[in-house]
């Protein structure tokens, strides 16, 4: 079904290029692309699990990629409508995630389309975004009517900012998807040569809030996908991330906190010199008056996750345990994973708490000792919480088992207090090799 709609899209594109009025900007086509997560499944369902980097993709995955990725890459770069182009880019990223290494033959086209978005040369962002190649007026989102020239200019600038943020979101999906499909070693040189500088430009202070936020989010996902291959970019991005952590814009702060955690996890050596500044910038985001669970959970969740990743990745003593551990424990309620709604952030918090309680007395920093009991109790509650996300329960269970061996006087009573069925489940969870 998805292929049928893509072929219809291609036909309408050809009509428009020939100067005939196509239908690609009608609500039906925008609706089509907004349903990308449904339609791409009809094509890729037979592809099986993603092919790992360097693996031999099955024929079904190769066929699925060949049928849809060229058209989606073209639409992201050349469609004049920002909503349709962005949805095509999002669909392309979803397909790449599904087919894995089978997307390799189309990585150049997809990377080129993402680069066009970052450079501002994608058709939906160009100076001629309001007209096609034959001068016909095209419909653009949020279009305004009459008014004076100043009003028109302001509306056009706002429309472009909206379009940039929308398309940057698509590029943010495509780049890490390609990194995971091709592998860090294969994709890192491509990112270094074609995307890194452009992404840094989009993170500059003179960019609109929504554009900076989208660019920072894209950097975070790429850094996590590239791992150590992102080290030099993490070091270069540190000033921008620290600046955005202090932004009055919630989305900028939320994405910057996520990106700071990603940068530290990917390249701890590069980020170690900024550890003190990182703690100084993240700490206020955990305060109830600025980022409480009820007020702005995304900012607080990401800030707590960033601190946890920093505690795990940076050399011992880089961050003061007496400052970090209370901040992490403040995000955890007694009944489990607490107000953390994002498993991606709750999981590293559990691993950080496990790192504290999983070593014998004297092996941990003296400043951490006062928090060991609370950390062990938080692990026990999260591991026993059947409603907690699986990654959170696995991390907590592993930490609790390690604590029982390293600090039996603290952890053993907590384990013994659990129902027998839960204890057996915890042992199984702790033994899992993955989630």
Q: Say what the pLDDT of residue 199 is.
A: 94
The sign of the torsion formed by the CA atoms of 39, 44, 48, 53 equals: negative
Q: Is residue 61 within a helix (H) or strand (E), and if so which, with residue range? A: helix 59-78
**Rounded Cα gap, residues 427 and 46, in angstroms:** 36
Q: What angle do CA 201, 263, 167 make, to 5 degrees?
A: 40
Q: Say what the pLDDT of residue 404 is.
A: 86
pLDDT one-digit tens code per residue, 99-135: 888 899 999 999 999 999 999 999 998 744 433 433 3
Buried b / exposed e across 278-298, counting CB within 10 Å, b at 16+? bbebbeebbeeeebeeeeebb
DSSP assignment string, 28-40:
HHHHHHHTHHHHH
Q: Say what the pLDDT of residue 7 is.
A: 56
> Could you tell me which residues are beta bridge partners of residue 131?
137
312 in a structural domain: no
Sequential pLDDT tens for the chain (435 residues): 455 455 555 555 555 554 444 444 443 344 444 444 444 444 444 455 666 776 666 777 778 788 889 989 999 999 888 888 888 898 899 889 888 888 999 999 999 999 999 999 999 987 444 334 333 333 333 334 444 555 555 566 666 667 888 898 888 899 999 999 999 999 999 999 999 999 999 999 999 898 899 899 999 999 988 988 988 898 889 899 999 999 999 999 999 999 999 999 888 887 788 888 888 899 888 865 544 343 567 888 899 999 999 999 988 878 888 888 888 888 776 444 444 557 778 889 999 999 888 877 766 667 888 898 999 999 988 888 888 888 888 888 888 888 888 888 998 898 888 888 877 877 777 776 543
> Is 308 buried (19+), middle (13-18) or exposed (0-12) by CB count in 10 A?
buried
For residues 62 and 193, state if they share a domain.
Answer: yes
148 in a structural domain: no
Q: Last residue of some domain: 175, 202, 229? A: 202
Domain span holding position 415: 320-435
Q: 388, 334 in Cβ contact below 8 A?
A: no
108 in a structural domain: yes
Q: Say what the pLDDT of residue 135 is.
A: 36
Q: Last residue of some domain: 202, 228, 260? A: 202
pLDDT one-digit tens code per residue, 169-190: 888 899 999 999 999 999 999 9
For residues 59 and 188, state if they share a domain.
Answer: yes
For residues 328 and 193, state if they share a domain.
Answer: no
176 in a structural domain: yes
For residues 23 and 162, state if they share a domain.
Answer: yes
The sign of the torsion formed by the CA atoms of 381, 383, 387, 389 equals: positive
Q: Say what the pLDDT of residue 6 is.
A: 56
Q: Say what the pLDDT of residue 405 is.
A: 86
311 in a structural domain: no
159 in a structural domain: yes
Q: How far is CA 309 from CA 262, 265, 320, 389, in A?
A: 8, 6, 14, 18
pLDDT one-digit tens code per residue, 317-350: 788 888 888 888 887 764 444 445 577 788 899 9
309 in a structural domain: no
Q: Last residue of some domain: 166, 181, 202? A: 202
Domain count, the chain: 2
């Amino acid at each position: 079904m998805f292929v049928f709609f893509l072929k219809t899209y291609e036909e309408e594109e050809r009509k428009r290029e020939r100067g005939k009025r196509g239908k690609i900007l009608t609500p039906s086509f925008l609706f089509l692309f907004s349903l990308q997560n449904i339609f791409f499944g009809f094509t890729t369902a037979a592809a099986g699990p993603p092919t790992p980097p360097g693996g031999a993709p099955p024929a079904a995955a190769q066929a699925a990629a060949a049928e849809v990725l060229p058209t989606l890459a073209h639409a992201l770069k050349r469609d004049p409508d920002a909503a349709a182009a962005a949805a095509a880019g999002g669909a392309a990223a979803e397909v790449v995630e599904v087919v894995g290494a089978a997307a390799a033959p189309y990585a150049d086209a997809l990377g080129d389309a993402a680069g066009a978005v970052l450079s501002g040369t994608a058709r939906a962002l160009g100076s001629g975004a309001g007209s096609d190649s034959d001068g016909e007026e095209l419909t653009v989102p949020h279009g305004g009517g009459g008014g004076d020239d100043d009003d028109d200019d302001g509306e056009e600038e706002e429309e472009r900012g909206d379009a940039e943020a929308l398309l940057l979101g698509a590029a943010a999906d495509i780049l890490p998807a390609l990194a995971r499909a091709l592998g860090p070693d294969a994709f890192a040189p491509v990112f270094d040569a074609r995307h890194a500088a452009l992404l840094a430009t989009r993170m500059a202070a003179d960019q609109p809030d929504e554009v900076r936020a989208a660019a920072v989010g894209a950097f975070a996902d790429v850094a996590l996908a590239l791992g150590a291959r992102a080290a030099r970019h993490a070091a270069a991005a540190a000033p921008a991330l620290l600046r955005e952590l202090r932004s009055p814009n919630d989305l900028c702060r939320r994405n910057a906190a996520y990106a700071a955690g990603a940068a530290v996890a990917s390249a701890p050596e590069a980020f170690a010199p900024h550890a003190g500044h990182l703690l100084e910038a993240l700490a206020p985001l955990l305060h109830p008056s600025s980022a409480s669970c009820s007020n702005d959970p995304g900012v607080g969740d990401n800030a707590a996750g960033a601190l946890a990743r920093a505690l795990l990745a940076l050399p011992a003593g880089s961050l003061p345990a007496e400052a970090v551990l209370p901040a992490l424990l403040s995000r955890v309620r007694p009944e489990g994973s607490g107000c953390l709604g994002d498993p991606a952030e709750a999981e590293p918090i559990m691993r950080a708490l496990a790192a504290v309680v999983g070593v014998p007395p004297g092996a941990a920093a003296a400043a951490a000792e006062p928090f060991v009991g609370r950390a062990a109790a938080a692990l026990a509650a999260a591991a026993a919480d059947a409603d907690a996300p699986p990654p959170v329960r696995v991390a907590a269970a592993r930490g609790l088992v390690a604590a029982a061996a390293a600090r039996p006087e603290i952890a053993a009573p907590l384990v013994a207090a659990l129902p027998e069925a839960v204890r057996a489940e915890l042992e199984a969870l702790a033994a899992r090799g993955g989630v």
